[in-house]
Amino acid sequence: MRKNKFLDKNLLYLFNKGEDLKSYLRMGAHKICFDGVDGYNFLLWAPNVKEVYLVGDFNNWSQDTPMESINENEMWTVFVPGLPDESSYKYLIITNDGKKLHKADPYAFYAEVKPHTASKTFDLTYKWKDDNRGNVTNHFNRPMNIYEIHLGSWMMHEDGSVLTYLELAEVLPKYLTEMNYTHVGFMPVMEHPFDGSWGYQLTGYFAPTSRFGKPTDFKHLINMLHKAGISVMLDWVPGHFCKDEHGLGRFNGEMLYESGEQLEWGTYMFDYEKEEVAGFLLSNLVYWIEEYHVDGFRVDGISSMIYLNYGSNKNSEHKQNKDGGEENLIAVKFLQRINEIVAKNYPYIYMIAEESTAWPLVTYPPYEGGLGFHYKWNMGWMHDTLDYFQLDYEDRKTKHNLLTFSSMYQYSENYILPLSHDEVVHGKLSIIGRMPGDYWRQFANLRILYLYQIAHCGAKLNFMGNEIAQYVEWRYYEELQWFLLDYPAHKKHQNFVKKLNKLYINEASLWEQNFDEDGFMWIEADDCEQGVLVFLRKAKNPKDFTVMAINFQPNYYESFDIGVPENGTYIEIFNSDDAAYGGSGKVNSSPIKSNRRSSQNQKDSITIKLPPLAGVIFKKGDEKNESTF
């Protein structure tokens, strides 16, 4: 009888050492031909248990398919001949004290639709056509404007049912292309039992949720996004997992995958000190890269990983590391390791950190003491900016520093500026709902918020619905308020976002030196009374620059002087007050020739119309360069 390749001792050794980066090719359920017989081979890691049985719809969930123990009862395996694709199954684990545990497969590629909890066999074979994948290795030499999306609530059928992966593939790539986004960021698509967790409390790390279809359907969605030129990023949750009985928790009747509880979220924390657990997560990351062709990951909840006492309460035991600090040194080492592996083997993959504290060197390489990510969400910019925009106009004069403080640290990390799902839930209001004033002023404020975000150093991220100025908070069980586009103000705002995104892509000065001090220069940062910011963004070509002035007050200036770095003719290439966007139409329609009158510490200046609650962007050129935006 031929030896089962899944039981190779060298591979089992690497698994136990956490060094089998493609353990998903052997663990779980795999369709094979063994000794001339087609079927599925099952391989499970479940140490320190008495017995394991494979149960499923193929044997009426009975205990007549025992699994063979190998590797000193750490691994369990069985080959089931003739087992069809999409058969439901679980592992029945008998603990040493006789308890029976029905567990889903940790490495399952597919799962039953909730509320059912069994795993399903599946053949992942798919013919990809995304030939452009892997061509980008310089992450910072291209524009990045991310559309963050929750697949279950972006768009629904009239009866309230969700769109499938295949249906999304027909509409989402087209929408993102029309709106001029460059990347899409999926909130967790991995299998999870509770809709209200938004996907952040997982049971199936290797299975795209069956809510929207089959795994190959999800591959098709990614394939179509790539064909449209959209890069795909997944939220990845290596910090904790849910406690549901069929999941990873107490998998062998004891703590196996977990090191303890995450009290704030009511979940279990992963035990990175166990090599097999670290290897499980590393293999999972590689799986999504290799099998699903994803382009990057936003790693969720890093603060909960790197601080030992994160989320603890006053009754909790205070934890310290070997040096007496609160840093989780093992988790830090794990994060450094995953980023080193990605950098070495998959240099085209983006790694993004959602880290909410001031932990240093998040986007520095591990050999410099950093965590090794490419980008970090700039939560400080987000909080300060939204706090400012919620202020009444008189109060803005004394809080002007909320707008400018981020320039003091904008090069300390490679930042993404996020207006994410977290900012439109839990009573925080929608983004437009935070804006002061009447209907017109709310929209005007929203336009300068997005223009300020686009013009600021750093990559960009917006949650779905921001682009249509949704008034209600996001609800995971309802689709976006697409009907708002029947109202002119919302339709014009969507058009504003579309054109602003296009400007961002076309103007290298807005992204080419996002993370280089040469890419930004203040012209006027301290005009608190008038509430005006003027600054310069520069491309690598020193002759390619844009000058922007943003008025955060509702005052109109018919003649406003702004300093410019060079003498010449300046063309307005964007104005958020354009009537096409819902503004008052106070635009600078003709080229403006600079004069030798110094202003704002510049030798030259131009005199412009500066509309109320509006931003204008100028570029040096001639009449032939007038904008088409």
Q: Count CA within 13 A, CB hemisphere, residue 406.
A: 26
Q: Say if residues 130 and 82 touch (Cβ distance below 8 Å).
A: no
Question: What token pair was written down for 45?
Answer: 């890691």
Q: How far apart are the first and last CA of the chain?
A: 70
Please give the backbone phi and psi of residue 538, each rounded to the nearest 5 degrees, phi first.
-125, 140
Classify residue 555 by burial, with Cβ atoms within 10 Å: 0-12, 13-18, 19+.
middle
Q: Say if residues 281 and 330 touch (Cβ distance below 8 Å).
A: no
Would the CA dihedral through 486, 431, 406, 614 be positive or negative?
positive
Question: What token pair was written down for 178?
Answer: 């029309």
Distance, CA of 93 to CA of 95 (rounded, Å): 6
Name the residue type at position 463.
Answer: F
Query: Which residues contact residue 204 at a Cβ distance below 8 angstroms, ignoring those fewer than 6 apart?
Result: 104, 108, 111, 119, 190, 191, 192
Q: Say if residues 336 and 328 touch (Cβ distance below 8 Å).
A: no
Classify residue 380 by burial, with Cβ atoms within 10 Å: 0-12, 13-18, 19+.
middle
Give the residue among 5, 265, 241, 215 at the shortest CA–CA distance from 111.
215
Query: Which residues contact residue 165 at a Cβ distance below 8 angstroms, ignoring those fewer than 6 apart?
Result: 208, 212, 213, 214, 217, 218, 220, 221
Q: How far is CA 300 from CA 284, 433, 526, in A?
A: 15, 26, 36
The full DSSP string for 168-194 is HHHHHHHHHHHTT--EEEEPP-EE-S-
The DSSP element (H or E) to which 499 belongs, if any, is: helix 488-506
Query: Which residues contact residue 158 at a Cβ distance below 8 angstroms, ignoring those fewer than 6 apart?
Result: none
Residues with catalytic annotation?
300, 354
